[in-house]
Structure 1
Amino acid sequence: MKNNTSNNNTKLILLHPYIQKQGTSHRLWLLAFLSFFTLAFLLTLIYTRQSTALTTSATVTATAINHHHPTPLPDPVLKALLHYASTPNATATADHMSAADLKTISAALRQCPAPCNLLVFGLSHETLLWNALNHRGRTVFIDENRYYAAYFEEQNPEIEAYDVQYTTKLSETGDLIATARELSRNECRPVQNLLFSDCKLGLNDLPNQLYELDWDVILVDGPRGYWADAPGRVSAIFTAAVLARSKKGGNAKTHVFVHDFNTEVDRVSSEEFLCKENLVKAKGRLGHFVLERMEEGSFQFCRNRTTALPVPASSS
């Protein structure tokens, strides 16, 4: 009886083949969907990276082009800067440059191969102007007053300024030039690296990098002072002359401007080391020279030297 009851209660369950195929079909569709989604994601990722790389490359290329060929200041901006820099005001002094002098120096900067390297001896009323006119170039200022240079940089972070210690005296200008003549084949030669120079007229305590630059325009508008114990500008003029003649690359010519060229000591110092044959124009208080680099082993600043040694006045 137990066996019969067991047999009667047994149930047979059969799975239809369609149900198995339906589960397999769903899995295949799911697999296909995931594969498609993964492929689309990978293609999108690759495309995005390529687009980003191309955009970055284009940006870098454009930046490089602008660096090597910087856009000059528009003429209206240039004229406005020159106008307001030369317009007299309540605080104007005799140290300010005239409009004619500003335009002369500005013209040289406009003709300068880009990017232009401008070296200025002296922080002055025109300092911000020179930095603005040398748009996207490098402008470096040298001043004899350590505290003023630091203060000026703090107030104007875009300005690059360094202080230098002058060891000369205005009253000794004649003796300094005579000594430089005697040492023109040794310590005071026209082509050298001033960083290692023992010539008293050469400034050798500037940052090392400045001696490696090829300066396109140099303006001597400092140090300040025209009394007997003031340093005078003979050292700055000598340094400018050597830097211009010792260029290693870039443009072979360097424009050198000397402000207060009308004073005897500055005129004589300029004619001694920048030379009359290189004088382009001298009008009012500005002397404009154009110097060409010399070969290593050159020992003569000027082809013809007829300058008499100066007798500096006690004041000016």
Structure 2
Amino acid sequence: MKNNNSNTKLILLHPYIQKQGSSNRLWLLAFVSFFTLAFLLTLIYTRESTSSAASSAVSPTVASTSLGGGPLPTTVINTLLYYASMSNNSFHMSHAELKQISDVLRKCPSPCNFLVFGLTPETLLWKALNHNGRTVFVDENRYYAAYMEEKHPEIDAYDVQYTTKLRDLRELVASTKKQIRNECRPVQNLLFSECKLGLNDLPNHVYEVDWDVILVDGPRGEWPDAPGRMSPIFTAGVLARSKKKMAANAKTHVFVHDFYGEVERVCGDEFLCKENLVEASETLGHYVLERMDANSFQFCRNVTSPKASSS
């Protein structure tokens, strides 16, 4: 018993030794965490800097175009036209039609005022091509106009209520020609007009703008009760002749789409005039109209009297 007790050894661990080991591990963990966090922050910063530099290097023209007031580069315009004409939509314009209108917009004095009758598959294209200009759309469908403005806030669209019917084409043209010295004269402010073919319920500022380019691509008119494009063509003719400025941009380019239609041909001859037709295909008519004096009372130079026409 005594010998066994003499061989027993007692080992005591001082609390300081345990504390020192735990403290070293904590310092090591803190050290590793610090360098891991520093590495992650450096990696994120480097990626953001590289991405910004790459964006600036790849598309300086696009960046400067979005901020500046210069025209779109030719390559951008050609690319937009190419992809816009690739659609299988049967109501879509062909590349030739798109280019014809685009060429006029490209030469338009800046800023260019562009009025479009009809919200079509090309709506966003027209807005993009008239870069830094003013583009306004007019459509007969109030719900679609509201939808387009909500989905694309950059679009400036208004709805209009057409009172005409396609089946009344000849009667409306004859009635308009009878009133050519009064309500339906070629130079006037349509806001105060009672002419049956004149659109007088658009926002006031539409009548105050000197429009440089007008495109008639709506409303549709494939059935007798459809509104037809009589009113937009007549209105375009009046707006073009009633411009206020006597300057280099006193001329107005008017395009009429679906030029094969009876309404488009008849109203084009009556209110835009054959002598102003500079280019035409089966689907697109291009007129160039000049500003007229306020005392002018005929749309075309070569025209028969209203009585003879209506008889």
Give the root-mean-square deviation of aligned CA atoms.
1.9
Deviation at 1:284, TM superposition (A): 2.6
Deviation at 1:224, TM superposition (A): 1.6
Corresponding residue SS for 1:301: coil
Corresponding residue SS for 1:142: strand
1:70 aligned partner: 69
Deviation at 1:70, TM superposition (A): 3.4
Deviation at 1:264, TM superposition (A): 1.6
Q: TM-score, normalised by structure 2?
A: 0.75
Do residues 183 (structure 1) and 179 (structure 2) align? yes
Aligned letter for 2:183? E
Deviation at 1:88, TM superposition (A): 3.1
Aligned letter for 1:265? V
Q: TM-score, normalised by structure 1?
A: 0.74
| 1:104-115 equivalences in 2 (<5 Å) | 104-115=100-111
Separation of aligned partners in 2, 1:142 and 1:127: 11
Do residues 277 (structure 1) and 286 (structure 2) align? no
2:287 aligned partner: 289
Do residues 87 (structure 1) and 93 (structure 2) align? no
Separation of aligned partners in 1, 2:297 and 2:87: 45
Aligned letter for 1:272? E
Deviation at 1:262, TM superposition (A): 1.1
Separation of aligned partners in 2, 1:239 and 1:173: 15
Separation of aligned partners in 2, 1:70 and 1:105: 21
Q: Is the 8 A contact 1:233 1:266 kept in 2?
A: yes
Corresponding residue SS for 1:266: helix
Do residues 117 (structure 1) and 116 (structure 2) align? no
Separation of aligned partners in 2, 1:305 and 1:131: 37
2:165 aligned partner: 169
Q: Is the 8 A contact 1:122 1:142 kept in 2?
A: yes
1:195 aligned partner: 191
2:28 aligned partner: none
Moved over 6 A (4+): 306-309
What are the superposed Cα offsets for residues 143-191 of structure 1, whole Å, 9 maximum, x if unpaired? 0000010001101100000000101000001000000110000000000
* Partner of residue 146 from structure 2, selected from 128, 139, 150: 150
Corresponding residue SS for 1:82: helix
Q: Which 5+ residue runs of structure 2 have no aligned equivalent?
A: 1-64
1:30 aligned partner: none
Do residues 222 (structure 1) and 218 (structure 2) align? yes
Separation of aligned partners in 1, 2:284 and 2:199: 23
Separation of aligned partners in 1, 2:282 and 2:85: 15
Q: Is the 8 A contact 2:221 2:229 kept in 1?
A: no
Separation of aligned partners in 1, 2:272 and 2:69: 30
Deviation at 1:263, TM superposition (A): 1.1
Alignment: residue pair count: 240
Q: Is the 8 A contact 1:70 1:114 kept in 2?
A: no
Corresponding residue SS for 2:288: strand
Q: Is the 8 A contact 2:113 2:213 kept in 1?
A: yes
Deviation at 1:80, TM superposition (A): 0.6
Corresponding residue SS for 1:228: coil
Aligned-residue sequence identity (percent) comes to 70
Corresponding residue SS for 1:198: coil
Corresponding residue SS for 2:227: coil
Separation of aligned partners in 2, 1:305 and 1:82: 38
| 1:5-44 equivalences in 2 (<5 Å) | none
Aligned letter for 1:124? T
Higher Cα Rg: structure 1 or 2? 1
1:263 aligned partner: 261
Separation of aligned partners in 1, 2:214 and 2:111: 15
Deviation at 1:135, TM superposition (A): 0.3
